[in-house]
Amino acid sequence: MREMEDKMASNQDDTHDVSGSRNNVENEIKRGLTVMKSIIRARDKGEKFEVHWSAEDQLIEPNDSMLASYIGFLVRQHILITCDNWRSPELKVGKEKIWSEIQRSFHIDESRKKYCIQLAGKRL
């Protein structure tokens, strides 16, 4: 009987420890907002990144993934998360803002606007 009481007491202590660790988990620092610092710093200095295209009109190295990531960042920044239709006329202002931000940071021709906006729609 005494062993059973001791075991129950130790289980209660374990439960207390577990609940204590839950509090530590709740207080953990979570991942913050992605801000693409390298692009922002370069843009502030007046520098732009070069973008190259393949013969099949696909982005290629060296800055292909950087542009794609930046477009995703811009979508999260300028388009509401509740948006369910990328073709909605209400998004025209947001799309134009995304395009102007892309042009501020990358050397990219106006003829590539459709590609970039479509890529933004995939990042939604």
89 cis-preceded (ω within 30 degrees of 0): no
The tokens of 102 are what?
Answer: 């892309």
Q: Above pLDDT 70, what percent of the chain?
A: 73
Position 95 confidence tier, pLDDT thresholds 50, 70, 90 = very high
The mean per-residue pLDDT over the stretch 48-72 comes to: 87
Residue 15 banded pLDDT, cuts 50, 70, 90: very low
Please give the torsion angle defined by the CA atoms of residues 66, 116, 48 and 81, in that order, rounded to the nearest 10 degrees: -70
Percentage of the chain exceeding pLDDT 90: 24
For residues 93 and 66, is the Cβ–Cβ distance under 8 A?
A: no
Domain coordinates in residue numbering, the chain:
1-30, 37-123
